[in-house]
Amino acid sequence: MSVPESAGPPEEAIGQPDVAALIPTVRRIVASRVRDRAAADDLVQETLVRVLAAADRVEPGMLEPYAIVTARNVVVTMWQQQDRHRRNQHRVVDLRTPDTPDEDMLRREERDAVAVALERLSERERKALLAHEVAGRDTRSLAQDLGSTAGAVAAQLNRARARLRVEYLLALDQVEPIGERCRPVLLALSSGDRRRQREVDAGRHLLECELCARLSQPLLERGQQRDDLVRISIRADSDVVLARQAARDLAERVGFARTDLTVIATAVSEVTRNIVRFAGSGEIMVEMIEGPRRGIQVVARDAGPGIADVERAMSDGYSTYHGLGMGLPGARRLMDEFALVSELGRGTTVTMTKWCREG
């Protein structure tokens, strides 16, 4: 797979963060707390896995503070687990154990926390979120009700989800009051908004605030479960269909007009089919772009033979699989931005973006 050397915004989003550079710091933190060498190694690895899982949700400068608080947290979690294990061992021989298992209580607490979190949203946020998530209303019809645009409703829903996650964790923890910087920091982390993370200096706050250090973990480790990103590995024609549908669904949530949904789905088909034909296998990632300008970004990459003459491959009418579609030039025409990086023998990465027109 090839990642271009110039680290513009799209490459920054897909490039592997330098986690190896964090190893000495993480090792030092864990070793100062855990004597056992093998256990320490496990904890270091666990920390790095978590940092990797969160890497694309935080701005690059925040990786180190995040690694530090994560290392501290995994050590504490290990102690808690050992402690719980000891208590459970005790419980096995204690015949007067109450009938209600811990899990029931846990579930009740979670339900209560969701209720509390929903209460803390604004009336407007709560209504929109419930209509969308519970009643299954789409952004277009909600926009009509609210006299707004689908894009604005989608943005509002994402903000509401981010806030709901934060309020849920606070309610579950029953921590109140908190410092006045805590909510803005947690919100910036929850929404994965890197610009906002810089503005509120989230990295420094995580190091100073024990509460946020703890609560930020589940916010940042949503990893593969991110609802604003889809990743599909591409091997066969059936994957082309999957990728196409996934891109369409995500674009619909951004608030694209119906004709644009077809345009995006078609462009995704073209780059995906290109992977199947020429590289055999690869990966496609479709991501919602949030912020003042909304849109959708598609990154298609493979570790195939690469393209010898990119200019020729991108010229209209050129297609090595005769008549089977519009190929890469077609995809470029359909999208607003298109970048192709190819390295012979190493593979090709196509990054393309479509911006949402409001209305």
- Contact residues toward Zn ion (CB under 5 A) are 182, 209, 211-212
Helix (H) or strand (E) holding 119: helix 102-120
Long-range contact list for 47-52, CB < 8 A, 24+ apart? Answer: 47/71, 47/74, 48/19, 48/22, 48/23, 50/74, 50/217, 50/221, 51/17, 51/19, 51/22, 52/17, 52/19
**Considering beta carbons, is residue 146 or 207 the nearer one to Zn ion?**
207
CA distances from 269 to 27, 163, 215, 295 (A): 45, 35, 40, 18
Shortest distance (Å) from residue 49 CB to Zn ion: 24
**Considering beta carbons, is residue 152 or 211 the nearer one to Zn ion?**
211
Shortest distance (Å) from residue 205 CB to Zn ion: 6
**Considering beta carbons, is residue 215 or 299 the nearer one to Zn ion?**
215
**Considering beta carbons, is residue 220 or 285 the nearer one to Zn ion?**
220
Cα(79)–Cα(85) distance, rounded to whole angstroms?
Answer: 10
- From 146, 149, 142, select the one nearest 257 (Cα to Cα): 149
Shortest distance (Å) from residue 231 CB to Zn ion: 31
Radius of gyration, alpha carbons of the chain: 23
What is the four-CA torsion angle of 249, 254, 257, 259, rounded to 10 degrees? -40
Quick check: helix, strand or coil at residue 234? strand
Shortest distance (Å) from residue 206 CB to Zn ion: 8
Shortest distance (Å) from residue 26 CB to Zn ion: 22
Longest Cα separation, the chain: 79
**Considering beta carbons, is residue 205 or 244 the nearer one to Zn ion?**
205
Shortest distance (Å) from residue 189 CB to Zn ion: 10
**Considering beta carbons, is residue 31 or 178 the nearer one to Zn ion?**
178
Distance of alpha carbon 205 from the chain centroid: 22
